[in-house]
Structure 1
Amino acid sequence: MSTAAIVMMVVAMVVIWGGLGLAIASLLRHGAVEDRTEDLRRDV
């Protein structure tokens, strides 16, 4: 593999994992995850 390909692969991985981390942090910050678990407990 060339150096450019390795650099592009690393950048792509950072973008993907960074976006996933930000999405999870956003959901946790706004309480979307906690609200859903309480609704599931009530429904069961």
Structure 2
Amino acid sequence: MTTTAILMMLLAMGTIWGGLVVSVIWLVRSDRRVAAREAARAGGTGAGTTRGEG
């Protein structure tokens, strides 16, 4: 295999893994934001609602 082929393979793998990591982080952050908003709407009696949302 040539150096160009190896570099292109690494670039493609990096793009795929980067997209997976970004999507997971996005899902976790959006889930936390929705949960905090619903807890605040319910009266703010749940655990962890004293911390202000970003």
Q: TM-score, normalised by structure 2?
A: 0.57
Partner of 2:16: 16
Letter in 2 for 1:7: L
Moved over 3 A (4+): none
* Structure 1 vs Structure 2 CA RMSD: 1.5
Shift of 1:8: 0.1
Is the radius of gyration larger for structure 1 or structure 2? 2
User: Higher RCO, 1 or 2 (CA under 8 Å, sep at least 6)?
Assistant: 2
- Following the alignment from structure 1 to structure 2, what is the Cα–Cα distance between the partners of residues 15 and 31? 24
Q: TM-score, normalised by structure 1?
A: 0.70
Gapped regions of structure 2 (runs ≥ 5): 36-54
Aligned length: 33
Between Structure 1 and Structure 2, the one with more helix by share is 1
